[in-house]
Amino acid sequence: MTIGYDSAFVGGTIALASFKDEFHFERLSKSQINLLSANIVSCYQAGAFFGAFFAYPFGHVSMPYNSCPIRSDSWLFWTSGRVVKDMR
């Protein structure tokens, strides 16, 4: 279910005018746009698959008490980066 939600998010992002402007879709032919969109979605799906594939053994081997700080640190890192990016 999560993969379907995230895939819809990626597809919706590709359809945004700001995304098309950022990646200069107006300069590309229809076949180039299709190839670029397919590659973006494929990279997302590969990242989701391999992320889940490698995250499971890490979570299984480490005790839940040890992995909680790692998860909260990564959330803090992502949020801080997002705030800094939005400030520019």
Q: Longest C-alpha distance within the chain, in Å?
A: 52
Which of 4-8, 24-28, 67-71 is predicted with the least confidence, judged by mean pLDDT? 67-71
Separation between Cα atoms, residue 23 and residue 18, nearest integer Å: 9
**Mean pLDDT, to the nearest integer, of 56-75?**
62
What count of Cα atoms within 13 Å lies in the side-chain half-sphere of residue 57? Answer: 4
Separation between Cα atoms, residue 44 and residue 10, nearest integer Å: 8
pLDDT greater at residue 14 or residue 87? 14
Task: Write out pLDDT tens, residues 22-38.
Answer: 989 999 999 999 999 88
The whole-number pLDDT of residue 55 equals 77
C-beta of residue 67 within 8 angstroms of C-beta of residue 58? yes
- The pTM of the full predicted model, rounded to 2 decimals, is 0.58
